[in-house]
Amino acid sequence: MPGTSTTPSALPESPSDIPPLGYALAQLKGIYILAENAHGLVLVDMHAAHERIMYERLKIAMANEGLSGQPLLVPESIAVSQREADCAEEHITTFQRLGFELQRLGPETLAIRQIPALLKQAEANRLVSDVLADLMEYGTSDRVQAHMNELLGTMACHGAIRANRRLAIPEMNGLLRDMENTERSGQCNHGRPTWTQMGLSDLDKLFLRGQ
Amino acid sequence: MPGTSTTPSALPESPSDIPPLGYALAQLKGIYILAENAHGLVLVDMHAAHERIMYERLKIAMANEGLSGQPLLVPESIAVSQREADCAEEHITTFQRLGFELQRLGPETLAIRQIPALLKQAEANRLVSDVLADLMEYGTSDRVQAHMNELLGTMACHGAIRANRRLAIPEMNGLLRDMENTERSGQCNHGRPTWTQMGLSDLDKLFLRGQ
């Protein structure tokens, strides 16, 4: 099913007091949010949209004073390779700026004491191990700096809601409102659309109405 | 937005115990029912679908022993032209077979005492006046007989739920189940699709997933 009438990067104009992305109706297949706006049906890829919102939030926080951390109630230990443990030590200040507090417990063991507050719902273990993988790839601190946005993207992915998480209508509406207030929320971090509009005229065409 | 993956006249196969047209999620714009089935999103044009169901029911009833009537609690009088009143008198037996009981009250007035039981929710006045218009067009009883299905189509349209009638989820599910049990329910009486499937792969394409 090819193109839709509006490009999803531009929010539709709302003739009334209905918000641009409308109000949530339901969740579909644990992946999409269905909403009704002034123009018709809105389909939102909930993970992609939330990932984008998280990413912009992380970027803004980073640009201000770095990410604030949220201590874990119980520190988590994570098994890594020796090279990864070395990398964690080498980039300890980068981790700090990102809101992490890590400690090397042994040749191949790290303790996670704190993760970024914005990602407090993420799985700490996998989050740290993916950030470590990025850091291993970027190498020196200079290159890490140049790839800071990719790092934040990796982290945003961990913070975003996963497929098959059941959302209540108010949570869905919250996400729609966040999208409206987030720059470039029409595209996910990988450039894919986060939502799409099926206007009444698109729907009418599907049903050969008015022909 | 052109073609979809499944032709809407063939019900999709359900791998599980989810019914072919799935379960209703919500109503959109007072026109469409959104449902989730095994394959993804189902969009139903609720008026067209219900019209088709009514039409098939009327045809079956007609083929058996004519339509049974439902007396109105309070007879309605209807102002018509003299030609229409003459037509009503001329086709009194046709009206009876269709489940109506009419009486001429004056040169330009009819009383409606009974309407078809299957259409008891229709607006009696407009129903009778549209059936009369058809009869005027078909003329003789022979031609009326030949156009019986068109007549039933006109009546089905009156019996079908209108746009902007708010349906509860169980009503929507009832309609979906009726569609599954109605022959040729994939097309409305005018040959337009009554529902369309947007499979997960269609949705993925909209979101450029898996590319």
Q: For the sheet containing A40-45, what is the strand order?
A: A23-28, A32-37, A40-45, A195-199
Single-letter amino acid, residue B161 = I
Question: Is B191 a domain residue?
Answer: yes
Residue B137 burial (CB count, 10 A): 11
Residue owning tokens 């698109």: A202
Residue A76 and residue A91: Cα distance in Å, rounded? 19
Residues on chain B touching A31 (C-beta within 8 angstroms): 200, 203
Task: Give the CA distances from residue A3 to residues A44, A197, A198, B67, B208, in Å, rounded to whole numbers and listed in that order.
Answer: 15, 10, 10, 47, 11
Residue B163 and residue A103: Cα distance in Å, rounded? 63
Per-residue pLDDT at B7 exceeds 50:
no
CATH of the domain at B89: 3.30.1370.100
A1–B205 C-beta distance less than 8 A: yes
Asked if B182 is an interface residue toward chain A (Cβ–Cβ < 8 A), one would say no
Per-residue pLDDT at A142 exceeds 90:
no
Q: Band of the pLDDT at B17, cuts 50, 70, 90?
A: confident
Tokens in use for A38? 């002034």
CATH of the domain at A35: 3.30.1540.20
Tokens in use for A35? 């909403």
Q: Quick one: pLDDT at residue B184?
A: 86
Closest to A200 (Cβ–Cβ): which among B29, B34, B207? Answer: B29
A137 and A73 in a single domain? The answer is yes
Q: Quick one: pLDDT at residue A188?
A: 85
A120 and A172 in a single domain? The answer is no
Kindly calculate the radius of gyration of chain B based on its CA atoms and give it in whole angstroms.
20
B124 and B183 in a single domain? The answer is no
Residue A121 burial (CB count, 10 A): 11
Q: How many interchain CB pairs under 8 A, A with B?
A: 94
Asked if A203 is an interface residue toward chain B (Cβ–Cβ < 8 A), one would say yes
A124 and A77 in a single domain? The answer is yes
A144 and A96 in a single domain? The answer is yes
- Per the prediction, chain B carries an average pLDDT of 90
Query: Where does a domain end: A159, A174, A194?
Result: A159
B84 and B42 in a single domain? The answer is no
Task: Give the CA distances from residue A123 to residues A67, A100, A127, A135, A167, in Å, rounded to whole numbers and listed in that order.
Answer: 17, 13, 6, 18, 19
Query: Looking at residue B156, what DSSP letter applies?
Result: H
Question: How far apart, in Å, do the first and last CA atoms of chain A sit?
Answer: 20
Q: Quick one: pLDDT at residue A3?
A: 39
The pTM of the full predicted model, rounded to 2 decimals, is 0.84
Per-residue pLDDT at A37 exceeds 50:
yes
B127 and B179 in a single domain? The answer is no
Q: In chain B, how many domains are there?
A: 2
B98 and B138 in a single domain? The answer is yes
Decide if B9 contacts B187 (C-beta within 8 A): yes
Asked if B24 is an interface residue toward chain A (Cβ–Cβ < 8 A), one would say no
* Coil, helix or strand at residue A75: strand
Q: For the sheet containing B32-37, what is the strand order?
A: B23-28, B32-37, B40-45, B195-199
B100 and B179 in a single domain? The answer is no
- Helices B124-138, B82-90: axis angle to 10 degrees equals 80
Tokens in use for B193? 């699709």
Asked if A34 is an interface residue toward chain B (Cβ–Cβ < 8 A), one would say yes
A206–B43 C-beta distance less than 8 A: yes
Better-predicted residue by pLDDT, B203 or B189: B203
Shortest distance, CA A14 to any CA of chain B (angstroms): 15
Structural domain of B120 = 66-159
B171 and B198 in a single domain? The answer is yes
Kindly report which listed range (A7-21, B49-63, B126-140, B164-178) carries the lowest average pLDDT score: A7-21
B121 phi, psi to nearest 5 deg: -90, -5
Residues on chain B touching A40 (C-beta within 8 angstroms): 28-29
Q: Quick one: pLDDT at residue B112?
A: 97
